[in-house]
Structure 1
């Protein structure tokens, strides 16, 4: 199988096999399923970088979604296997970071979905914006492409 055409080098990749629960009344992957996959992929990447939800709780900090931009290029269907990639494309080392996502259908070798998500660092206790703790700056800053 040929290599996939990624937006950027060194993607963090998880595979997703489309199942019945992901299909909507039009017969293709539902918007909510894509959003759920974005969240799962972002957490998997964060965990692979060495940060966990327990770390977030201990530090009273969280990276919460400020904005999504979702692009549906082609429909995906039951049984499709998608290579789902993410990158941290910007990190200001203060309050915000941006992730890009790209999902490629392995069978068709084409991008079916892409997204950009902006995150802001907040206090878990009250939801107000707070500066990134040093470990966030180190982990997310070093992962930024």
Structure 2
């Protein structure tokens, strides 16, 4: 499958009936849920699990989501969702891009971008990225 950027982290999604809304296509809230799901999966693959976030008293919280819905998905569709880290300032934030494609026709259904900010879990206050975050997320950055 051809992607917008090289070497994506990819998950597969099978669209179930529970994802379908009154218009008989995937509800837009599902796309956002999938974006969150792949973000966690990619972080864990890089070595940053929720348990590690807690140990370091840091979290990457959503500052901004941008989702461009390009075409609908339907019950029974098999999809692939890709993500890339496209920016990590080494201080407070990182940005991910996402691309969702239907496997059967390779059609892009969604392009998205999320900017995350680093906060202390204990207080919710903005905090600098721990060295481990800077290293693991920074090493994963892909040029746009």
TM-score bucket (shorter structure) = over 0.9
Question: Where does structure 1 lack aligned partners over 5 or more consecutive residues?
Answer: none
**Aligned twin of 1:67:** 64
Please state if 1:56 is matched with 2:53.
yes
Rounded to whole Å, the distance in 2 between the matches of 1:126 and 1:29 is 36
Q: Detail structure 1 runs of 4+ shifted over 2 Å in the superposition.
A: none
Alignment counterpart, residue 20 of structure 2, candidates 23, 26, 42 = 23
Q: Distance in 2 between matches of 1:125 and 1:31?
A: 32
Q: Deviations over 1:73-105 (max 9, x none)?
A: 001000001110000000001000000000000
Q: Which residue of 2 aligns with 1:102?
A: 99
Which of 3, 8, 29 pairs up with 1:6?
Answer: 3
Alignment equivalent of 2:126, drawn from 124, 129, 145 = 129
Does residue 46 of structure 1 match 2:40? no
Counting matched residue pairs gives 142
Partner Cα separation in structure 2 for residue 24 and residue 5 of structure 1: 29
Across the aligned residues of Structure 1 and Structure 2, the Cα RMSD in angstroms comes to 0.6
Aligned ranges for residues 68-83 of structure 1 at < 5 Å? 68-83=65-80
2: CA distance between counterparts of 1:18 and 1:6?
Answer: 20
The TM-score normalised by the length of structure 1 is 0.96
Quote the Cα distance in structure 1 between the aligned partners of 2:84 and 2:41.
12
Q: Any stretches of 5+ residues in structure 2 without a counterpart?
A: none
